[in-house]
Every structure is written in structure tokens, then in C-alpha cells.
């Protein structure tokens, strides 16, 4: 698999996994307001699994685009670069707070609430990040997912 295809497929997989991680996090927060621990626990397990996958794909995504981060030294941080850099910092914070919850009782804890709030901010910045790149994701679908046979048949 070519490097470009690997990057594209990683980027593409991040979208549904992000939605799943965000959704399960909100559901987990809602379940934490109730009194049924089993429901909260089920959402917690689902959220942890989805979020670990999201974290791994996010790290691969950042590593794949590391040249962009290096370029910030010379280009500077203007325009949409601010959103991406902000997303990177907030993503790191949501990872740190999320991993710290493994060591404490997370339900209704101050750290759990902080993680939830940072998660909401991560969600907003992620939607902005994805929206700016939707053309790239749609354009590359036929070439990178459906493959050469689809391109030849279409031509």
C-alpha cells in the first residue's frame, strides 16, 4: 500500500471513529447523571474501546502529517493552522485526562467532568477540521477505497 493511500485510509477511518467516540462520551456523561451503574458501566466500556481506537488512529494521523507541524516554525500559525494546532493541543489534553481516569473513580469526578468538557471542545474543533477537508475525503474515496477497477470502469 502506498504512503498516500495509507494516509487517506487513516484519515477516512478517523471520521466514523471520532463520531463513535464523541457519541459514546456524551452518552456516558448522560448515564452518569442516572442511578443505574450497569448502564453507566456499559457506556464506559464502549467509550473506552472507541476512544482507544480513536487515540491510536489520531496518533498515526499526526505522525503521518508530522512535516506539517515542522513547517509551522517557518510558515507560522495563521488561519486554519490555528484550528489544527488548537485541535492538536486539545486532543493531547483529552488523551491525558482520559488516561488519568483509569487511575481514579471516573463517575461524577472532577477529572471526569474536566475530561467531558475538553471532549466537547475537541468535538467542536474536530468538526471544523473535518469540514475544511470534506472535499479531500470525498475526492479520494473512489481512488483509495474502490480501487483501480472502479477508476477504469468509470473512464
146/54 Cα distance (integer angstroms): 24
Checking if the pLDDT of 33 tops 80, the result is yes
pLDDT in the model for residue 103 = 84
pLDDT in the model for residue 50 = 97
* Predicted confidence (pLDDT) per residue in 34-70, tens digit: 889 899 999 999 999 999 999 999 999 999 989 888 8
**What stretches of the chain adopt beta strand conformation (E)?**
none
Q: What is the DSSP letter of 107?
A: T
1/6 Cα distance (integer angstroms): 7
Domain enclosing residue 73, as ranges: 3-154
Tally of domains within the chain: 1
Checking if the pLDDT of 90 tops 90, the result is yes
- When the pLDDT of each residue in the chain is averaged and rounded to a whole number, the result is 86
Average pLDDT of span 115-135: 90
Q: What angle do CA 127, 10, 114 make, to 5 degrees?
A: 45
Amino acid at each position: 500500500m502506498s504512503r498516500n493511500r495509507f494516509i487517506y485510509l487513516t484519515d477516512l477511518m478517523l471520521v466514523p471513529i471520532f463520531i463513535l467516540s464523541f457519541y459514546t462520551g456524551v452518552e456516558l456523561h448522560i448515564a452518569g447523571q442516572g442511578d443505574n451503574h450497569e448502564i453507566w458501566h456499559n457506556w464506559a466500556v464502549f467509550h473506552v474501546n472507541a476512544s482507544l481506537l480513536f487515540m491510536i488512529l489520531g496518533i498515526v494521523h499526526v505522525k503521518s502529517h508530522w512535516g506539517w507541524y515542522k513547517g509551522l516554525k517557518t510558515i507560522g500559525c495563521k488561519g486554519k493552522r490555528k484550528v489544527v494546532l488548537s485541535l492538536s493541543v486539545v486532543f493531547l489534553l483529552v488523551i491525558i485526562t482520559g488516561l488519568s481516569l483509569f487511575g481514579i473513580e471516573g463517575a461524577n469526578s472532577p477529572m471526569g467532568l474536566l475530561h467531558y468538557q475538553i471532549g466537547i471542545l475537541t468535538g467542536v474543533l474536530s468538526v471544523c477540521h473535518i469540514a475544511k477537508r470534506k472535499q479531500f475525503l470525498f475526492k479520494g474515496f473512489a481512488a483509495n477505497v474502490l480501487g483501480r477497477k472502479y477508476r477504469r470502469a468509470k473512464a
